C-alpha cells in the first residue's frame, strides 16, 4: 500500500502543470454530485404534494418541477465539463510521462540499453503508459464524484433523519473491508501481469525482428512453443487478476443490497409511526442507492487503478534509472587534431570477467590504425571506449594530450565519424537520412556526399529520388543502407574516423570504390579500422593485433607477415582449403 501511495504521489506530481484543469474537475464533480443529491429532495417534496387521492397541489408542484429541470441541466453540464477537464488532464499528464521516459533513454548509459530487452523498454514507453492513461481517466472521474457523493449523501440523510442515516453508516464498513481486501489481491496479480506483458513483448520483438534466421534454421515450431509457454503464464496470471477484480462488483452490490434493505425496513417503520413522510422515505431510498453507488464505482475501478499503479511503477523504474555520468564542471569542448593515447587502460563489462587489461597505445595524428583479432578479443570494446560509450575501469584515454573525461562528450563524439557493420535507417526521406549529422546541409553538399559514397546512382532510381521516404524495412538492400550510412560520414567530414566492418555488406567492386573514397576522405585524419577481411587493411599505417584484451603484435602488414606470428596465422587462414 505504501508503494502504491508513493506511485500515486509521483503521478500527481506530473499533473501540477495542469492544476487549473484539476481544480475545474473538482468543482464540476462537486456541482454534478450535489445536483444529483438535491434531485431526490425535490422529487420527495413533489411526492408529498400528491400523497392523497384527489389531493394534488399543482401550485406547489409546478415550481418544484421547474427547479428539478434546472438542477438536472446544471448537473448534466457539470458532468460534461468534468469529463472534458479530466480528459485534458489525463492526456497531458501521460504525454509528459511518455516524453520523460523517452528523454530518459537519451541520457542513460549505453550499458542500460544493452542490458535490457528492447521489447521491455518499448512496453514501458508505450503500453504501460497507455494503461496509466486509462487508470487516470477512470480514477479521476469516479474518485472525485464518489467522495463528494458519499459525504454529501451522509449530510443530506443526517439532516432528514439521523436514526436512519445511522443504519447506513453502521453497514458502510462492510463495503470498505470488501474493497480493501480485493485491492490487495488485485495489486499483486496486476504487478505480475505487467512484468510478464513486458517479457512477452520483448520475446515477440526479438523473434519478429529475426524471423529470417528462425525460418532458415526451421525453428518455427520451437519459437511457437517458447512463446506459448510465456503466453500461457501471462494467461494464467491475467485470468487470476481479472477474477479477483471481477469479485468487486457482486461483492459490493451484496453490501449495497443490505444497506438498501436496512433503509427500507427501518424507514417504513418510521413512516408508519409518523416519524417521516412518504416523500422523505422515497428520498431516503434514493440516497441509499446514491450512497452505495460510489462504492461500486470506486471498487469497480480498483482493477484499473492497480493495473495503472503496476505499470506506473515500471515506468518510474525506467525514469529513475541512473543517468550517464555528466560532464565535469570544467569540461571543455575538444579541438581535435587526432593524437590518441591509451595509458594502462583496463575495462570489463562484468567485474568478474576480465576483458581489457593494461592496454597501452600511442596513435599519431593522421595515422590509419587497423584493429584485428579473433571474435571477443576486445576490438569493438576498444571503439566503445574511444567514443566514451563506456568509461574505462582504470587508466586513461587522451586525445591530443587531454583526458577524454575532461572534455564534453558531445564535442568528443562529434570529432569521430563512425560507420558500423549494423546499419540504421530511420523513417524519413533519403535526404534527411544522409543529413542526420548535419541537418543544415545544402542539397549540393548532400549530393556530393552521396556521390562520394557511390549511392547517388541508386538514389536517382528511387521513385522520388532524394525525397523518397525510406525506413529500415523499405526494401533497400543491406549494402544500399550501408552506403547511405557512409554518405552521412562523407557529409560531416570529422577529423577522426571509426570504421567497424563498414564495408562488410558491400560487394567487392563497390568496396574498391568506397576504399578509394575513404582514402581521399581520411587523408591526414586519424582513422581506426576494425576489419575481419585482412586484405582490406594492407595499406594501414599500423596494424594492432589483439587477443584476450591485449595488443600482442603491432606493425605494418608486410612486417607482421614476415614475423610469422599470430597475424600471419590469421591472414593465411583466409586462404586455407578445408
State the Cα–Cα distance between residues 150 and 290, nearest whole angstrom: 8
Fold classification of 90-319 (topology level): ABC transporter transmembrane region fold (1.20.1560)
Q: What is the pLDDT of residue 3?
A: 67
State the Cα–Cα distance between residues 327 and 325, nearest whole angstrom: 7
What is the CB-side half-sphere exposure of residue 486 using CA atoms within 13 A? 32
HEC sequence for 133-161: HHHHHHHHHHHHHHHHHHHHHHHHHHHHC
State the Cα–Cα distance between residues 545 and 553, nearest whole angstrom: 5
Question: To which H or E segment does residue 528 belong?
Answer: strand 526-530
Q: In what order do the strands lie in the sheet with 496-500?
A: 416-419, 496-500, 526-530, 368-372, 542-547, 550-555
Residue boundaries of the structural domains of the chain: 90-319, 424-493
State the Cα–Cα distance between residues 3 and 154, nearest whole angstrom: 31
Residue 500: all three cell numbers together: 567497424
- pTM of model > 0.85: no
State the Cα–Cα distance between residues 146 and 152, nearest whole angstrom: 10
State the Cα–Cα distance between residues 90 and 305, nearest whole angstrom: 13
Per-residue pLDDT tens listing for the chain (578 residues):
566 778 878 888 888 888 888 888 888 888 887 888 788 778 777 777 776 556 667 777 888 888 888 988 998 998 899 888 888 888 888 889 888 988 888 888 888 887 887 778 888 888 888 888 877 766 767 777 777 777 877 787 777 778 777 777 777 667 667 767 776 777 777 778 878 887 888 788 777 767 766 776 677 788 888 888 888 888 888 888 878 777 766 777 777 777 777 777 777 877 777 777 777 777 777 777 777 677 666 666 666 777 788 888 888 888 888 887 777 766 666 677 788 888 988 888 877 777 888 888 888 888 888 888 887 777 888 888 888 888 888 889 988 888 888 888 888 888 888 887 777 888 889 999 999 888 899 999 999 999 888 889 889 998 899 999 988 777 788 778 888 888 888 888 888 888 887 666 667 776 776 677 677 667 778 888 887 767 667 778 888 888 877 788 888 888 888 888 888 888 787 666 54
Residue 36: all three cell numbers together: 444529483
Residue 419: all three cell numbers together: 560507420
- Examine domains 90-319 and 424-493 and report if their fold is the same: no
Q: Which CATH number fits domain 424-493: 3.10.129.10, 3.40.50.720, 2.60.40.10, 3.40.50.300?
A: 3.40.50.300
Pairing of strands 550-555, 368-372: unpaired
Amino acid at each position: 500500500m505504501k508503494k502504491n501511495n508513493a506511485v500515486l504521489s509521483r503521478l500527481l506530481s506530473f499533473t501540477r502543470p495542469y492544476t487549473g484543469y484539476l481544480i475545474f474537475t473538482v468543482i464540476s464533480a462537486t456541482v454534478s454530485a450535489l445536483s444529483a443529491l438535491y434531485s431526490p429532495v425535490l422529487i420527495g417534496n413533489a411526492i408529498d404534494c400528491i400523497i392523497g387521492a384527489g389531493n394534488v397541489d399543482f401550485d406547489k408542484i409546478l415550481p418544484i418541477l421547474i427547479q428539478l429541470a434546472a438542477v438536472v441541466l446544471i448537473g448534466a453540464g457539470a458532468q460534461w465539463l468534468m469529463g472534458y477537464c479530466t480528459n485534458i488532464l489525463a492526456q497531458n499528464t501521460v504525454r509528459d510521462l511518455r516524453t520523460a521516459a523517452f528523454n530518459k533513454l537519451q541520457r542513460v548509459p549505453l550499458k542500460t540499453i544493452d542490458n535490457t530487452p528492447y521489447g521491455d523498454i518499448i512496453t514501458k514507453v508505450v503500453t504501460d503508459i497507455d494503461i496509466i492513461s486509462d487508470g487516470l481517466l477512470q480514477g479521476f472521474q469516479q474518485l472525485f464524484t464518489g467522495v463528494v457523493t458519499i459525504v454529501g449523501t451522509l449530510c443530506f440523510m443526517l439532516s432528514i433523519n439521523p436514526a436512519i442515516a445511522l443504519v447506513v453508516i453502521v453497514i458502510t464498513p462492510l463495503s470498505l473491508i470488501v474493497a480493501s481486501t480485493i485491492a490487495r489481491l488485485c495489486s499483486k496479480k496486476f504487478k505480475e501481469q505487467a512484468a510478464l506483458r513486458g517479457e512477452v513483448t520483448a520475446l515477440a520483438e526479438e523473434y519478429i525482428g529475426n524471423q529470417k534466421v528462425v525460418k532458415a534454421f526451421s525453428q518455427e515450431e520451437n519459437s511457437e512453443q517458447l512463446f506459448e509457454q510465456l503466453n500461457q503464464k501471462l494467461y494464467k496470471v491475467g485470468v487470476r487478476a481479472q477474477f479477483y477484480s471481477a469479485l468487486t462488483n457482486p461483492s459490493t452490490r451484496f453490501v449495497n443490497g443490505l444497506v438498501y434493505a436496512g433503509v427500507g425496513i427501518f424507514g417504513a417503520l418510521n413512516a408508519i409511526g409518523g416519524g417521516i413522510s412518504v416523500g422523505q422515505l422515497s428520498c431516503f431510498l434514493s440516497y441509499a442507492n446514491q450512497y452505495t453507488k460510489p462504492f461500486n464505482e470506486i471498487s469497480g475501478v480498483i482493477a484499473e487503478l492497480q493495473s495503472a499503479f503496476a505499470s506506473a511503477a515500471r515506468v518510474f523504474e525506467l525514469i529513475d534509472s541512473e543517468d550517464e555520468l555528466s560532464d565535469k564542471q570544467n569540461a571543455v569542448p575538444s579541438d581535435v587534431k587526432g593524437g590518441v593515447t591509451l595509458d594502462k587502460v583496463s575495462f570489463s563489462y562484468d567485474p568478474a570477467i576480465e576483458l581489457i587489461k593494461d592496454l597501452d597505445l600511442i596513435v599519431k595524428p593522421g595515422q590509419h590504425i587497423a584493429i584485428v583479432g579473433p571474435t571477443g578479443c576486445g576490438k569493438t570494446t576498444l571503439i566503445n571506449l574511444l567514443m566514451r560509450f563506456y568509461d574505462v575501469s582504470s587508466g586513461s584515454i587522451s586525445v591530443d594530450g587531454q583526458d577524454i573525461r575532461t572534455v564534453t562528450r558531445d564535442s568528443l563524439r562529434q570529432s569521430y565519424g563512425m560507420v558500423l557493420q549494423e546499419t540504421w535507417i530511420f523513417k524519413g526521406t533519403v535526404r534527411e537520412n544522409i543529413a542526420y549529422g548535419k541537418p543544415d546541409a545544402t542539397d549540393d553538399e548532400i549530393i556530393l556526399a552521396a556521390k562520394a559514397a557511390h549511392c547517388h546512382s541508386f538514389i536517382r532510381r528511387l521513385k522520388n529520388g532524394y525525397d523518397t521516404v525510406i525506413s529500415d524495412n523499405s526494401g533497400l538492400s543491406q549494402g544500399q543502407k550501408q552506403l547511405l550510412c557512409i554518405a552521412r560520414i562523407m557529409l560531416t567530414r570529422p577529423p577522426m574516423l571509426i570504421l567497424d566492418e563498414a564495408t562488410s555488406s558491400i560487394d567487392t567492386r563497390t568496396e574498391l570504390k568506397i576504399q578509394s573514397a575513404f582514402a581521399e576522405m581520411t587523408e591526414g585524419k586519424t582513422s581506426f579500422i576494425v576489419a575481419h577481411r585482412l586484405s582490406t587493411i594492407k595499406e594501414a599505417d599500423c596494424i594492432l593485433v589483439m587477443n584476450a584484451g591485449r595488443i600482442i603484435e603491432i606493425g605494418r602488414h608486410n612486417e607482421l607477415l614476415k614475423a610469422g606470428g599470430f597475424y600471419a596465422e590469421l591472414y593465411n587462414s583466409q586462404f586455407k582449403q578445408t
